[in-house]
């Protein structure tokens, strides 16, 4: 299992478009990937799950990946979240 923390810099947090991009990226990996925010956890491969967390701008989230490609999966998700600046 790989765990990484990342700061959400996107002005709208992880809503609609950014969440859709995350789900698409996460779905390309075999590993189980989830994010944790405010004590709640959601599967990143589920758009409803990601949206239900209500992640806002400047929030610190935890990316957790476990599986065959967990290291790459965690790194790519963190990279994507960091690139979502608007």
- In the residue annotation, 15 being an active-site residue is answered as yes
* Mean pLDDT of the region 21-42: 97
Predicted confidence (pLDDT) per residue in 7-25, tens digit = 999 999 999 999 999 999 9
- Lowest-confidence segment of 12-16, 30-34, 41-45 by average pLDDT: 12-16
43: confidence class by pLDDT, cuts 50, 70, 90 = very high
Number of folded domains that form the chain: 1
* Domain region containing 14: 2-83
21 contacts 84 by C-beta, under 8 angstroms: yes
Domain of 75, CATH number, reads 3.30.1340.10
Marked catalytic residue, from 9, 15, 32, 36: 15
CA dist 29 and 61 (Å) reads 19
Please give the Cα distance from 2 to 71 (Å, whole number).
6
pLDDT of 84 > 90? The answer is no
Q: What is the pTM of this model?
A: 0.94
């Amino acid at each position: 299992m790989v765990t990484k923390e990342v700061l959400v810099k996107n002005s709208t947090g992880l809503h609609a478009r950014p969440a859709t991009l995350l789900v698409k990226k996460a779905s390309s990996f075999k590993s189980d990937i989830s994010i944790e925010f405010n004590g709640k956890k959601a599967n990143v491969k589920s758009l409803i799950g990601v949206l239900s967390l209500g992640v806002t701008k400047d929030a610190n989230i935890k990316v957790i990946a476990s599986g065959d490609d967990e290291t790459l999966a965690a790194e790519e998700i963190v990279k994507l979240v960091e690139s979502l600046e608007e």
